[in-house]
Amino acid sequence: MTSLGPYASFIVTSYTLVAAVVVLLIIWIAIDYRLQKERLRELEASGVTRRSGRQATDIR
């Protein structure tokens, strides 16, 4: 660690914190994706359809 100079602890801490934030964001996105997919399944099961699922002839 001495090759990083007198700021080694700052550099290592900064990179560690950035890595932790990126990992937390990835986890958050994965959880939110699953929740959104579940919500979409619930809506479709209740009869709500997506506009993207309709044909052009169905829109009046």
Per-residue model confidence as pLDDT tens digits over 1-30: 558 889 999 999 999 999 999 999 999 999
Q: What is the pLDDT of residues 36-54, one digit of tens each?
A: 999 999 998 898 777 776 6
Q: Which of 38, 40, 36, 42 is nearest to 52 (CA)?
A: 40
Q: Which two tokens stand for residue 27?
A: 């986890």
- Half-sphere exposure of residue 13: CA atoms within 13 angstroms, side-chain side: 4
pTM of model > 0.85:
no
